[in-house]
Copies of this chain bind each other. A is one copy, B any other.
């Protein structure tokens, strides 16, 4: 069953998009155009388009404000989304990924330098929005977002290093995935409460929920990167295996001590680009070696832990349910 998009997402998108657009409007025309394309607001020629992401992180920030009994904090929600957009822009360059959300990646269309600058601009705007808001709560969000950005960078650095290394342990791969996905979702879940000056107990429980739900989300994303259809993922089929990415199901398969895992290691060690046939065989070997089942079980386990952390927050029933809906949505297998 395809889960319905929780209404927190479009609602947050409607609130935050004007703030994002106003921020991007402050950039020079060249960089603004790349950023507007990346956000899905413009087509390659700069004409208005109605793309746009699903506003997952802004929605979590808005729920986080609600959790603290406050109005939605738009600078915080926009800042978290800007950092997310920055990381996608730069990651696509580094990973050589030419497709993003069914369209050419910004760097493939406008050039590497232009995409580097646009990413820099979005990262800088995030800090600027929080500095303009200027309350002690926003300084706390800026500190949390800075720490999350360091983890995003650490995760991407590890991800790149893993592609070149022969052996990667499951523990370090889990850490990499937490850094790449858990860190910013954790920050988003706490940011609204932080901006409102909520106490440590609430912000920590929300952050822990986001961290665990984020890892569950990454596990599902890794599964989709191998077995998801391109129409759903917006990426070419088997692209993660083609890039020899050491994703969690792959590393679980490689480190499980099975004959299928050993065959997978041999296949991935072959020099040169892997032909389609080898990629399909590799996907089969990940499954035979237990990597798929492990990732599915681990995603379920992390989601369970996320639920327990959310219960620690002691939220009113309505906002508690909204957080659960978002977690269920991002860890569903078919969106």
- A113 to B, closest residue via Cβ: B94
Q: Which of these binds chain B: A51-59, A128-136, A202-210, A256-264?
A: A128-136
A314 to chain B, nearest CB (A): 28
Contacts of A142 in B (CB 8 A): 127-128, 130-131, 142
Query: Using an 8 Å CB-CB cutoff, how does the interface string of A59-81 with B read, 1 for contact, 0 for none?
Result: 00000000000000000000000
Within 8 A of B (CB), among A22-48: 26-28, 30-31
Contacts of A30 in B (CB 8 A): 154, 157-158, 161
Q: Considering the chains assembled together, what is the distance between the CA atoms of A161 and B114 in angstroms?
A: 10
Query: Using an 8 Å CB-CB cutoff, how does the interface string of A85-129 with B read, 1 for contact, 0 for none?
Result: 010001001100000000000000000111011011101111110
Contacts of A158 in B (CB 8 A): 28, 30
Contacts of A125 in B (CB 8 A): 146, 150
Judged by a CB distance under 8 angstroms, whether A321 is at the interface is: no
Contact of A28 among B113, B120, B154 (CB under 8 A): B154
Q: Considering the chains assembled together, what is the distance between the CA atoms of A116 and B147 in angstroms?
A: 18
Contacts of A161 in B (CB 8 A): 30
Judged by a CB distance under 8 angstroms, whether A160 is at the interface is: yes
Contact of A131 among B28, B31, B139, B153 (CB under 8 A): B139
- Complex contact B132–A143 (CB within 8 A): yes
Contacts of A147 in B (CB 8 A): 128
Judged by a CB distance under 8 angstroms, whether A177 is at the interface is: no
- Additional 8 contacts, C-beta under 8 A, given A90-B116, A94-B112: A28-B158, A90-B117, A116-B116, A117-B157, A120-B123, A121-B150, A127-B130, A128-B147
Q: Pull 11 A–B residue pairs with CB atoms less than 8 Å apart, ordered by A.
A: A28-B150, A90-B120, A94-B116, A114-B160, A116-B116, A123-B124, A124-B146, A124-B153, A128-B147, A131-B143, A138-B139
